[in-house]
Amino acid sequence: MLRVTLRSVRAHAVRFALSILAVALGVAFVAGTFALRTMLADTFHGIVDGQAPADAYVRGDEPLAGGSQTGGALTLGEQRVPVPLALADEVADVDGVRAALPDLAGQVVLVGADGTAVQSTQAPSLGVAFHATDPTLDLREGRAPDADDEVAIESATLASSGLAVGDTTRLVASGEVRDVTVVGEVDAGGPLAGATLVYLPVDVATAAFAPEGVVPSVAVHAADGVDEDTLAERVAAALDDAPGAEVLTGDTMREQLRADIDQTLGFITSFLLIFAVVSLFVGGFLISNTFAMAVRQRVREFALLRAVGASPAQVFGVVVGQAAVVGLVGSAIGVAGGVGLVSGLRVVFAQVGMDLVGDVPVETTSVVTCLVLGTVVSAVAAAVPARRAALVAPVEAMRGEVTVPERSLHVRGVAGGLVVALGVAAVAYAALRPDATGAELLLGAGAVVVLAGVLVVAPSLARAVLRVLALPFVHALPPLGRLAQGNVVRNPHRTASTAGALVIGMALVGAVSVIAATGQASLVRVVESATNADLVLRGATNAVPAGAVDDVTALPEVGRADATAFAFGGMSPRPGAVPGPDDGAFLVGLAPGVLGGSLVVEVLAGDVDALDDTHAVVNERIAGEGWEVGDELTVSTAAGERTLEVAAVVSTPVMSGSVVVTQDVLDELAPGPAQTTDTVFVDAADGVAPAELRDAVTAAVSPYVVVSVQDRDEFVDQMAAQVDQLLVILYALLGLSLVIAVLGIVNTLALSVIERTREIGLLRAVGLGRLQLAGVVTVESVLTAVFGTVVGLAVGVGLGSTLPSVYADEGLDRLSVPWSGLAVMVGLALVVGVLAAVWPGARAARLRVLDAIATPD
């Protein structure tokens, strides 16, 4: 039977070509995801090895409350209480220590040769202390920076900036603009994934990044002949009387950082694999449809197998075996395609400044997984057609008469309707009871059940819906429209199966579109209602330099400039409790009068005007039901902690996870670089026109390069554009499933032409022209594409519309359905239908009339 299976695949290779392509596309996505994750892991592991090369590290022995970021270079993983800067000198005197280097790093902005900030996507731009004793630094050209106005630049950063050793430029550090001279080029010793790295003199970096005399860690390098364990033991012994510090080997530190990276990449991999699985699932519809039609067309072949002694199980094995071969071949092509996909992505990443290290990996485990996955999906998809082939009686099969009882359609419709009703009930319960335990899980499960039920009931829907959709063609293109209508309605199972792939893809597109539109509308409402400032200042690096705030505040055209500075710290989980590592919150420092002024909030209890150095304002989203005005609240950071009294509880989605304190309290808890100013709200002085205010503010912030000046409408548009960027990514990931769905239509039409060869010949014989025949095939394709699109969008929009009820507290509180975008999708379906019909239509038109008529039924 194996020989029969392989011979059948060879004999019908063209018939299975699009199925192979569908499997190849889906598996390419899976293989590419595995390869991309490996390359990203290797790249970031290389960054860890390059940026954490020391033999031992000294760091805080306790986790930082709230898991706060400390602003140092190594900010992955659990953050620790910082250690005194003076420990570096103490450690340097330990026997066997070659160098003890404190972690002095923080955010800076380098101005390139073209006068703009040097940035690479979202990679950080860091200023780092140049330690002359650092054995890992390689000064390629020039010399080390010594004076306050000198810097050295990492090689890749120097190339992307357009600068050269000896050039002068500007650097924004600690909120100040400095004129600096590039005196050296440094090799950092490893990949940086596009990060901008500027080296500063040690005293300049200390003043900028460790003003309080504490650092995240101290890197310790061993002298020749001293191993890591011995070095760590000696340093630990020397620091016995230094409370709050622990010593770990370099390998241990790097292992922890790699584990944190792998955890993050695991999330990315899972996210991408979801779309890959969707693509394979959609491909399963194409495979199932292909084999279902192949079984109908090869009934005599299977009858002969039964007649010569093949059992139903053997016939079943032949069909499933053919599908397995299709899956195996497609998977092999897909693995190669995945390697090519990642190679292309590597070039794209390189263009935006992120170089992936090493060759594209082809790991045995990944290859085997992809081959097995593609083969199993194909075999499972062909199981139902294979069962039909195995159970058809030989005599009936030899007559070529394989009928599907009408009763099965009714039974399927009832079953599908019940499944849809069950899913709708689950979704409705989650929407009506969003606070119920497991509401989110129930919503997701209900959505999956609804989609599955729609796929089951689709054949019952097909006849009624397609008759309606075909009416314009029936009236506009007689008799072509009626012929096409009859063809798609005659076999609703096939039509529904063909359109099923589009139903899935369009359901996801519809849901994503509604979520994005709702997110935009909710975000716009939040931004519009949260501020009434004339201008808003934002930083391209998500930070506005302190100097820019001071310069804008000093302008005579400015009546008021309210900066919102924040730091991440710990917050009491309940009144009177001490915050732990998991009790994180944003601590926002505001001047008196900002709440209720530039920032509009809904006061639920208390008085926001009572905010002072002993009181705080808490957002209801982190306050919960346990907090009341007058409760004792403890907030903490690396610099210390303060116990404050709750002055008010407010509702505002702008600062959803925040505790508002005065700027003085924030300065105490997060001095200097530990806090970030992300937005400044500016109001004009009396009598100053908006244009005059904007010109003055723009001129004041221009030296800082990265600060943008926006009016209220532009600010709203920028926030909405962030949702658009995410939407483009999601559409691109869903695009593969839609491509496979289109291949399904092409495949079904092509096989349908083969199945209806004699019918086509008779139509040609009674006067139907070649173009008319191609037109019939085109209308069939359009009707199938529109049917799948309309049903899919209806399901997706319906499910997406329930999300505001469940996630209102997360900011999705204004439902918006993008009708114009959905109309474009339907129009696109018309185009897709026409394009999908080109090859099958041409093939049908080229059939010779006499040969077609002579073809047996």
DSSP string of 63-96, one letter each residue: BPGGG---SSS---SS-B--EETTHHHHHHTSTT
Per-residue pLDDT, 156 = 83
- Please report which confidence band the pLDDT of residue 145 belongs to, taking 50, 70 and 90 as the band edges: very high
Per-residue pLDDT, 65 = 64
| pLDDT higher than 80, residue 167 | yes
Residues 591 and 671 occupy one common structural domain: yes
Q: What is the pLDDT of residues 667-712, one digit of tens each?
A: 888 887 778 888 898 989 988 898 999 999 999 988 888 788 988 7
Mean pLDDT of 380-396: 78
Distance CA 67, CA 568 (A): 8
Name the most confidently modeled range: 85-94, 190-199, 756-765.
85-94
Per-residue pLDDT, 402 = 46
- Please report which confidence band the pLDDT of residue 450 belongs to, taking 50, 70 and 90 as the band edges: very high
Residues 573 and 522 occupy one common structural domain: no
Per-residue pLDDT, 767 = 77
Residues 6+ apart with CB under 8 A from 810: none
Counting Cβ atoms within 10 Å, is residue 69 exposed (0-12), middle (13-18) or buried (19+)? middle
Distance CA 74, CA 216 (A): 8
| pLDDT higher than 50, residue 68 | no
**Other CB atoms within 10 Å distance of the CB of residue 225:** 7
Mean pLDDT of 509-538: 80
Domain assignment present for 380: no
Mean pLDDT of 209-220: 88
| pLDDT higher than 50, residue 571 | yes
- Structural domain tally of the chain? 3
Per-residue pLDDT, 264 = 75
Sign of CA dihedral 656, 662, 666, 672: positive
Domain that holds residue 455: 405-531+713-857
Per-residue pLDDT, 218 = 92
- Please report which confidence band the pLDDT of residue 318 belongs to, taking 50, 70 and 90 as the band edges: confident
> Domain end: 200, 227, 261, which one?
261
- Please report which confidence band the pLDDT of residue 280 belongs to, taking 50, 70 and 90 as the band edges: confident
> Domain end: 705, 726, 751, which one?
705
Name the most confidently modeled range: 60-74, 623-637, 789-803.
789-803
| DSSP character string of 180-233 | EEEEEEEE-SS--TT-EEEEE-HHHHHHHH-TTSEESEEEEEEPTT--HHHHHH
Residues 729 and 677 occupy one common structural domain: no
Per-residue pLDDT, 818 = 87
Mean pLDDT of 449-460: 89
**82 φ/ψ angles, rounded to the nearest 5 degrees:** -65, 160
Residues 728 and 625 occupy one common structural domain: no
The rounded mean pLDDT for the chain is 82
Domain assignment present for 366: no
- The tokens describing 596, both together, are 């209720």
Residues 503 and 585 occupy one common structural domain: no
Domain assignment present for 3: no
| DSSP character string of 390-423 | HHS-HHHHHTT-----HHHHHHHHHHHHHHHHHH
Least trusted range by pLDDT, from 335-339, 365-369, 520-524: 520-524
Mean pLDDT of 161-190: 87
Contact 219, 118 (CB under 8 A): no
Residues 424 and 524 occupy one common structural domain: yes
Least trusted range by pLDDT, from 469-473, 492-496, 747-751: 747-751
Strand ranges inside 696-786, DSSP E: 707-711
- Please report which confidence band the pLDDT of residue 69 belongs to, taking 50, 70 and 90 as the band edges: very low
Per-residue pLDDT, 6 = 55
Least trusted range by pLDDT, from 145-154, 326-335, 429-438: 429-438
| pLDDT higher than 70, residue 262 | yes
Domain assignment present for 493: yes
Q: Which one-letter amino acid corresponds to residue 104? A: L
Residues 422 and 546 occupy one common structural domain: no
Ramachandran bin of 438, using left for φ above 0, alpha for ψ from -120 to 50, beta for the remaining angles: left
Per-residue pLDDT, 698 = 92
Mean pLDDT of 100-119: 87
Domain assignment present for 651: yes
Per-residue pLDDT, 418 = 92
Per-residue pLDDT, 76 = 54
Per-residue pLDDT, 166 = 92
Residues of the chain with pLDDT > 90: what percent? Answer: 14
Q: What angle do CA 811, 712, 650 make, to 5 degrees?
A: 40
Residues 429 and 576 occupy one common structural domain: no
Domain assignment present for 114: yes
- Please report which confidence band the pLDDT of residue 599 belongs to, taking 50, 70 and 90 as the band edges: confident
Q: What is the pLDDT of residues 722-766, one digit of tens each?
A: 677 777 777 777 777 778 778 778 877 777 776 677 777 887 787
- The tokens describing 797, both together, are 């929009």
| pLDDT higher than 50, residue 40 | yes
Distance CA 115, CA 637 (A): 37
- Please report which confidence band the pLDDT of residue 352 belongs to, taking 50, 70 and 90 as the band edges: low
Residues of the chain with pLDDT > 70: what percent? Answer: 88
- Please report which confidence band the pLDDT of residue 404 belongs to, taking 50, 70 and 90 as the band edges: very low
Per-residue pLDDT, 71 = 39
Closest CA to 39 of 405, 354, 276: 354
Per-residue pLDDT, 70 = 40
Residues 723 and 626 occupy one common structural domain: no
Per-residue pLDDT, 693 = 92
Length of the chain in terms of residues written: 857
Residues 501 and 546 occupy one common structural domain: no
- Please report which confidence band the pLDDT of residue 795 belongs to, taking 50, 70 and 90 as the band edges: very high
Distance CA 64, CA 666 (A): 17
Q: Sort strands 138-142 and 176-187 into parallel, antiparallel or unpaired.
A: antiparallel
- Please report which confidence band the pLDDT of residue 405 belongs to, taking 50, 70 and 90 as the band edges: very low
Q: Sort strands 97-102 and 214-215 into parallel, antiparallel or unpaired.
A: unpaired
Mean pLDDT of 35-44: 80
Distance CA 796, CA 320 (A): 33
| Cα dist from 317 to 312, 584, 606, 852, whole Å | 8, 58, 74, 32
DSSP 8-state code for residue 566: E
Residues 569 and 662 occupy one common structural domain: yes
Mean pLDDT of 111-134: 82
Ramachandran bin of 637, using left for φ above 0, alpha for ψ from -120 to 50, beta for the remaining angles: beta
| DSSP character string of 123-158 | --EEEEE--TT-TT-EEEEE----STTEEEEEHHHH
Per-residue pLDDT, 222 = 92
Mean pLDDT of 291-317: 76
Mean pLDDT of 597-603: 79
Q: What is the CA radius of gyration of the chain?
A: 33
Residues 618 and 499 occupy one common structural domain: no
Domain assignment present for 570: yes
Mean pLDDT of 410-423: 87
Q: What angle do CA 620, 621, 624 make, to 5 degrees?
A: 65
Q: What angle do CA 627, 628, 634 make, to 5 degrees?
A: 60
> Domain end: 705, 723, 743, which one?
705
Ramachandran bin of 299, using left for φ above 0, alpha for ψ from -120 to 50, beta for the remaining angles: alpha
Least trusted range by pLDDT, from 69-78, 256-265, 377-386, 391-400: 69-78
Domain assignment present for 304: no
Residue 633 pairs with which residues in a beta bridge?
A: 644
Per-residue pLDDT, 57 = 93
Per-residue pLDDT, 74 = 40
Sign of CA dihedral 842, 848, 853, 857: negative
